[in-house]
Structure 1
């Protein structure tokens, strides 16, 4: 496909806007309930012009095309910083693709418009007219409440060139330009489309589009060049001027220390930029001179803080060697620079702020006196432009007219707080990537990543909605269909679901596990009371060896569906590790009992206290199916040169701690070796033992790379556990743990930085050393029973956990070693399904169909968690399996479009990719939950034969809209000449989409 954007004519743009609004209630995907109107009496004044909001898009991907600017305005942007133009433009501008990587902190490798300068000018004028129309037609404001700010670069010679000079002069007064006349003629001849906008409004549109300019210079531009350009813009062009300044003004050490302290230690800086860019003292001196010049011309001069920060590409985030950082990681640097410069000028320096501005800090920035505020990264994330509405509403009451100075004390405090504000710390995002391991389908792609990420595929959105409505019994019935241990998993599940939650790309995951626990506490006992064991539907019998979560799950699911099941365990109580090892401070015995009663009430039979090995041959004489779920209790290997005999295994310690707390003796100093959840349990338990003063967790990498869940790390931290990072234990001697000091090297296959010895040693006081490095399975039990093992000593099994011996299964920790409780339940579910299939019995793992209010789901888009309110978690769930459309949200150019298709008497939501509006930035692929890229993998609408032939995308080209003649490329790559209505020529799904586009979305067809 082509990465070239095809500008839309103004006439088509007007028709598109009005028809989409009437058809869908949206304009370029922005829902009309998100159209922003300042409802108060307050406004802000910038360059002597009134704005109903001081917010808007920073010069970048969201201010490049007419539709981008329109979408931004509708959502609440009123200060529109147009994308930068320069002499090198269009196809002469080398931009690697993809060019945006906004997964968390954002990176890009593009810096100015990809259009020709004249095309860019035309786009901005078209947007200028269309905003005036929409302002009136939608009753958003009686008088113009927005301004455009142009951005140019990168040197004086280029800015003085005829091309850029014509652009600047045209933006100052566009009345004589061809596009101005075209727009005016189109609107005049289409007045019948409007109810409120009229000829008088048209004639009152100001011909002066921009009275201000932002100067963007390249990194390394000499200070004298910056000053020359600024003087030129002030004296020669008579423009209010903002000068973009870079975070490099703070120095490399400050930037490096900041990133290291906030969790961005992986960011690789380029020292050259810190030495060759404008230096701080030179910048201050220059600004003082320019302020004097501006005052003489009765103009305003200020700074745009900040430009993006260049960093090295070391992990293939984007093509090339260097990329430019923006977003939340940049906020501490930018706000610190703003504070530092404000002090230099006693608050009398106007700042156009950008650099990590978002919902969580925009009000704080504005409260210091800074205005305007622009952003890019936040509106490149799910929710997209519609995030602006919430921000605009949040700051509406703070608007206070013209710039009157900055409160340097408030600003300094905000800068200081930024280093500890959780919204800017890397650890806020608990997972790097939330993609699921499924390919993006061409049709019907809405999916709940939480459900797919859950090993037992819990219907998460459904039970969350039911809990939110306080329909606890229904919620629990949804949960228990797939979950044999709801009380346990509602308390200590590692919640894989939350690591896939779309809300991670907004703020924080929905607290899914907590919602499950609410259902459990309100309904599980009642549900158990109502259980009546079903009649047996098969004469076959099942033996389950091991009463842990895996064994009990397979038992419950099988018995619930009509099988005879007996569970045997050598211990006196069920639930293995959960019952005997996991401390009470993590899960109470009452919650464990709830789940046992749930299983027992189904009619499962139990035999506890059975000693001796499990002999499959003997068991087969009585049972037709055997499930081995014996866990992994064998201690892991201790890798120490000396003192192995002084090491305590974590499982043994925790079991003893749980059964006889008062009798445990550990001494004063305890070291835990390991970084997983078991290590955290061991540390927190040891801390509670009488006589223990210090507990240290020793890990060969840093805390950041510990596999334990974030909440377990935080709990250990809050209880005074010490974290001894970058230490690799080698020996125990005379009450000391001797360790190699390590440093982090290159990344390994897991993506973590490999620990490397430094050659130095460190000793820690250690009366007791507890090894928490992973238990092992009892492979001898398996081999003695004829079960084949792989090269790692693990049982060879099928997808349904069946071994090489027919009808013999292995589940839970016995399968691959220590894993999670929910993974063990998943094994039980897989085994139950397989056995039921063999017995020709149906299973009851049936999804519950719950209706969702579509309007309510759309209203949640773009809404971030407000710390000021105690919001119910169900209100935050986006029910992504019903409404996803993330690719629509995050596309700055609006190239991914929702199309409602009628099929089989029902309407479905499909995504159509409009090729001519796409520049292959790649942003949709970053946030799509699937493996894939919507701009390549979804049905594509092409605007020209050239683009169709230049692409391999599945999609269609309308050759004749009236006769419905098309060219179609389907999934197999075959191209078909097709006329709507032809039978058996193309797939029904493709036909339905083409039909919908022609009949209901014809405005998209060029």
Structure 2
């Protein structure tokens, strides 16, 4: 496998496009439904050329090859900023691979095109012709409504070299070039392929591909060098010119403070760039001089805002020492620089805007009269090129002809709004990675990450779709298969499913928990009424000690599968912490009652107020299986000297608060120590107690590193609770809580930064201190019953959660300390399956089919935005189990392709990798939900024997298409010669893919 992209010949490109459009109604994977048509007839004029949309790809991975430019155009790009060329090109360029990481804010370590300059020129000319053909053939416009802008770098000497000079001249007039003649002759000889594009249209194609240019200079380029390059382009080349400027113009202090305020404090800057790059005052003076030159020549001079921001590589995001940041974290910087410069020139400044432009801000940017607008990071994310369609439609009505100058006031307002705009703040997407702990399979790799990420593997796409269709009874029946506590988990589940949702890479996760609650409220009561206890199917009996979430879930699962179950608990009622400690404002007693009634209706037997002393030997005389689910109730420890007995345990406090309906005395000022969900519950409860004036949460790190759900933290803050960060409590005495001030240290294994003491002491007023630092399990009880413990005093269990004592299991918080409700239910599923297997009984954990039409799912690709009603929220689900294809979306070169396979051995949708179109940028691996990289791990189609032999990828090279003869590297890495239909020599799956490619997709071979 080579990281060198192979260029597709123009004639083959024509065949590919026409065949795919006819047979699949797509072009390079872009679906016909996402083709952009300007329906208003509005346009914008730039450099005396009319554009039906002022947007397009920034110079970068999405504008480097012909197919990339075609995909951008199809979806609404009418301003194409071609990838930068420079005198050092081709094999002389060293680009570390992978070179792109667009997981959240984007990073890259590549600059100009990896092709030779002459090859890049050929790609751009081919694209120029194809866009004219597609414009006519697809009836996008009657006359050219798009333009190309070339980008060159990096110094005047290189730009004046013969290589770059030839390139620029060719872009200004390509009529005498070899590739121009080839494209003309190829189209002429294939003119009968088209129904709308004619010979006359071919003759009208202008050889002037670019009338404008963008200067891309390296960081540290002197002001006089930049000015010399711009003057050269204006005076000698007569080109409208943009100068790409760096966010370093804002100064290191401003950049650092802005990134920190937006939550990107982990980005480590290289300070020397701020010293060595163009300085703001020099840049302004330079622009004023250049504007005078341009005016005399009747040309335009402007700025491209902005370049990427250099940052240090500290977490192996990419290879090397320095990378370049882009995307949503760059937006507040780029828009600030745009505002600053626009104000400097009273709005009389041409700005080509990039730097975090996306669906959520593109209309705002255009409202200032800034145009054109380009983007890179956004379209490197799921949805890919098809995101452009939505952007183009969004801004179409704003087009008003000629650019008349920037509205400085509107631009200033955007800058002010951005600091609080959730779309650009880090907390919108705190998840480091959506990856699952699963291997990427050669075939059938589509997966619903939400379901796999859910500890109980709920069938989320299925019930989400049904809720959207208002089929609540059906939705709830699917929820109840895997979830014994649907009402509780629809209210207070920590929704791990949502941290895996593909929509996190669009905007925000689908509100899965809320959709579940809609089903619960509309269908659970009816479901409970219909329950008839299952007949007992075995003579064996099970006792569960502990009636919390884990115990009740196991009881329900076992009983509905025909097992006699008894639940014992020391308290007077069931559901443990949920019932006795979690406050009513978090979950109502009515919701708790729904789940308890569902368990009771199944025929589970209960024994309450039972002696809490457990004797396993006695229990095993009466029961065949014993399950310990008593939770973790022992108070956690904190190194706090308490001279006044003013410190109370959080769980004890919450129990008392709930039992006495908040009628307790805490004093005026309360401090809660801890940063988890229990701490938030305690703080919010304390705030509601009469007489309490101030509640503070004391945490040794910062808010960003609190383990509590972000939603719970924000609720606490909204209720007036104070966060006292970077403090470690030492003692409480005489109404004063003494703390040591901390600072953040290095990151630990969890990627959280450690807290380091400073030795500086501070005191806080505290009438009551509530300690919420985690509860402990009762190890002594386990030891007394001869259950083996590990070095941390936790019980040793196998993968079935069985202890060293046969048929004795441990589930829930007793297993490893405080965990989540859904993890408790997951434990219950594991033990249920094991006990049923031992009794030779089948389980009812059945998978249901998916019920959303594929055309609807494809229609959702690339669509961002917030939907309001619950039914619309369901429509945000992308149905990843049926259609994933994220690696297809995010590949700028279209090197990953979905093919439809008609076979009994694999599902219809299969993704294959085209080696010749890949430069190993690595972007597909970032977004694939599995461990692995599609460009390495999917079945690969090779375009040459040499590439096949130089690769380790599993896949094939067609040596003789007509006879179906190929070389195959099998799944076991054996290399064999194979003729299609000889299934005994390769796997049935591989044979299916090879045959499909030969029969239906020969144009990609």
> TM bucket by the smaller chain?
over 0.9
Q: 2: CA distance between counterparts of 1:763 and 1:115?
A: 63
Specify the alignment match of 1:68 in structure 2.
68
- Residues 1:312 and 2:312 are matched in the alignment: yes
Specify the alignment match of 2:576 in structure 1.
576
Residues 391-414 of structure 1: CA deviation (Å, up to 9, x unaligned): 000000000111110100001111
Q: Kindly indicate whether the alpha-carbon contact (under 8 Å) linking 1:486 and 1:516 is maintained by their aligned counterparts in 2.
A: yes
Specify the alignment match of 1:172 in structure 2.
172
Q: Kindly indicate whether the alpha-carbon contact (under 8 Å) linking 1:661 and 1:689 is maintained by their aligned counterparts in 2.
A: no
Structure 2: gaps (5+ residues):
none
Q: 2: CA distance between counterparts of 1:647 and 1:638?
A: 10
Q: 1: CA distance between counterparts of 2:974 and 2:649?
A: 62
Specify the alignment match of 1:7 in structure 2.
7
Out of 647-656 and 778-787, give the one that drifted further.
Answer: 778-787
Q: 2: CA distance between counterparts of 1:943 and 1:662?
A: 73
Residues 875-934 of structure 1: CA deviation (Å, up to 9, x unaligned): 100010000000000000000000111112985111100001000100000000111110
Q: 1: CA distance between counterparts of 2:191 and 2:814?
A: 74
Specify the alignment match of 2:405 in structure 1.
405
Q: 2: CA distance between counterparts of 1:616 and 1:902?
A: 57
- Residues 1:688 and 2:710 are matched in the alignment: no
Q: 2: CA distance between counterparts of 1:870 and 1:782?
A: 46
Aligned pairs for 1:822-837 (under 5 A) are 822-837=822-837
Residues 261-292 of structure 1: CA deviation (Å, up to 9, x unaligned): 11000111111110110001110111011011
Aligned pairs for 1:59-458 (under 5 A) are 59-458=59-458
Q: 1: CA distance between counterparts of 2:693 and 2:412?
A: 40
Specify the alignment match of 1:721 in structure 2.
721
Query: CA shift at 1:381, angstroms?
Result: 0.3
Q: 2: CA distance between counterparts of 1:137 and 1:573?
A: 72
Q: 1: CA distance between counterparts of 2:647 and 2:217?
A: 61
Residues 508-536 of structure 1: CA deviation (Å, up to 9, x unaligned): 00000000000000000000000001111
Q: Secondary structure at the match of 1:567?
A: strand
Query: CA shift at 1:41, angstroms?
Result: 2.0
Q: 2: CA distance between counterparts of 1:243 and 1:168?
A: 16
Q: 2: CA distance between counterparts of 1:9 and 1:612?
A: 79
Aligned pairs for 1:458-607 (under 5 A) are 458-607=458-607
Query: CA shift at 1:866, angstroms?
Result: 4.2
Q: 1: CA distance between counterparts of 2:739 and 2:850?
A: 56
Q: 2: CA distance between counterparts of 1:132 and 1:741?
A: 66
Q: 1: CA distance between counterparts of 2:522 and 2:818?
A: 31
Q: TM-score, normalised by structure 2?
A: 0.99
Q: 1:683 to 1:194 in 2, by over 3 A?
A: same
Residues 419-447 of structure 1: CA deviation (Å, up to 9, x unaligned): 11111100011311111111111110000
Q: 2: CA distance between counterparts of 1:746 and 1:493?
A: 31
Query: CA shift at 1:313, angstroms?
Result: 0.8
Q: Secondary structure at the match of 1:968?
A: strand
Q: Kindly indicate whether the alpha-carbon contact (under 8 Å) linking 2:483 and 2:825 is maintained by their aligned counterparts in 1.
A: yes
Residues 526-556 of structure 1: CA deviation (Å, up to 9, x unaligned): 0000000111110111101110111011111
Specify the alignment match of 1:994 in structure 2.
994
Q: Secondary structure at the match of 2:41?
A: coil
Q: 2: CA distance between counterparts of 1:292 and 1:118?
A: 34
Specify the alignment match of 2:794 in structure 1.
794
Specify the alignment match of 2:37 in structure 1.
37
Q: Secondary structure at the match of 2:901?
A: strand
Q: 1:273 to 1:955 in 2, by over 3 A?
A: same
Q: Kindly indicate whether the alpha-carbon contact (under 8 Å) linking 1:638 and 1:644 is maintained by their aligned counterparts in 2.
A: no
Root mean square deviation of aligned Cα: 1.1
Q: 2: CA distance between counterparts of 1:787 and 1:879?
A: 45
Q: 2: CA distance between counterparts of 1:205 and 1:127?
A: 12
Q: 2: CA distance between counterparts of 1:260 and 1:492?
A: 31
Q: Kindly indicate whether the alpha-carbon contact (under 8 Å) linking 2:794 and 2:816 is maintained by their aligned counterparts in 1.
A: yes
Query: CA shift at 1:23, angstroms?
Result: 1.4
Residues 62-106 of structure 1: CA deviation (Å, up to 9, x unaligned): 000000000000011000000000001111101000000100000
Query: CA shift at 1:641, angstroms?
Result: 4.4
- Residues 1:811 and 2:811 are matched in the alignment: yes
Q: Secondary structure at the match of 1:211?
A: strand
Q: 2: CA distance between counterparts of 1:343 and 1:663?
A: 59
Q: 1: CA distance between counterparts of 2:645 and 2:324?
A: 53
Q: 2: CA distance between counterparts of 1:181 and 1:273?
A: 45
Specify the alignment match of 1:626 in structure 2.
626
Query: CA shift at 1:947, angstroms?
Result: 1.0
Out of 696-705 and 660-669, give the one that drifted further.
Answer: 660-669
Query: CA shift at 1:663, angstroms?
Result: 3.6
Specify the alignment match of 2:56 in structure 1.
56
- Residues 1:821 and 2:821 are matched in the alignment: yes
Q: 1:338 to 1:662 in 2, by over 3 A?
A: closer
Query: CA shift at 1:852, angstroms?
Result: 2.0
Q: 1: CA distance between counterparts of 2:932 and 2:325?
A: 24
Query: CA shift at 1:869, angstroms?
Result: 8.6
Q: 2: CA distance between counterparts of 1:638 and 1:746?
A: 23
Q: 1: CA distance between counterparts of 2:642 and 2:157?
A: 72
Query: CA shift at 1:644, angstroms?
Result: 8.6
Out of 97-106 and 614-623, give the one that drifted further.
Answer: 614-623
Aligned pairs for 1:837-848 (under 5 A) are 837-848=837-848
Q: 2: CA distance between counterparts of 1:828 and 1:567?
A: 13
Query: CA shift at 1:786, angstroms?
Result: 1.3
- Residues 1:608 and 2:601 are matched in the alignment: no
Q: 2: CA distance between counterparts of 1:869 and 1:291?
A: 51
Query: CA shift at 1:815, angstroms?
Result: 0.8
Q: TM-score, normalised by structure 1?
A: 0.99
Q: 1: CA distance between counterparts of 2:342 and 2:80?
A: 24
Q: 1: CA distance between counterparts of 2:52 and 2:396?
A: 8
Q: Secondary structure at the match of 1:865?
A: coil
Q: 1: CA distance between counterparts of 2:715 and 2:95?
A: 46
Residues 857-886 of structure 1: CA deviation (Å, up to 9, x unaligned): 000000001479987211100010000000
Query: CA shift at 1:616, angstroms?
Result: 1.1
Q: 1:871 to 1:310 in 2, by over 3 A?
A: farther
Specify the alignment match of 2:928 in structure 1.
928
Specify the alignment match of 2:768 in structure 1.
768
Residues 437-461 of structure 1: CA deviation (Å, up to 9, x unaligned): 1111111000000000101000000
Q: Secondary structure at the match of 2:1003?
A: helix
Q: 1:474 to 1:871 in 2, by over 3 A?
A: closer
Query: CA shift at 1:734, angstroms?
Result: 1.9
Q: 1:575 to 1:867 in 2, by over 3 A?
A: closer
Query: CA shift at 1:729, angstroms?
Result: 1.0
Specify the alignment match of 1:47 in structure 2.
47
- Residues 1:705 and 2:705 are matched in the alignment: yes
Q: Secondary structure at the match of 1:636?
A: coil
Q: Secondary structure at the match of 1:393?
A: helix
Out of 69-78 and 796-805, give the one that drifted further.
Answer: 796-805
Q: 1: CA distance between counterparts of 2:164 and 2:369?
A: 33
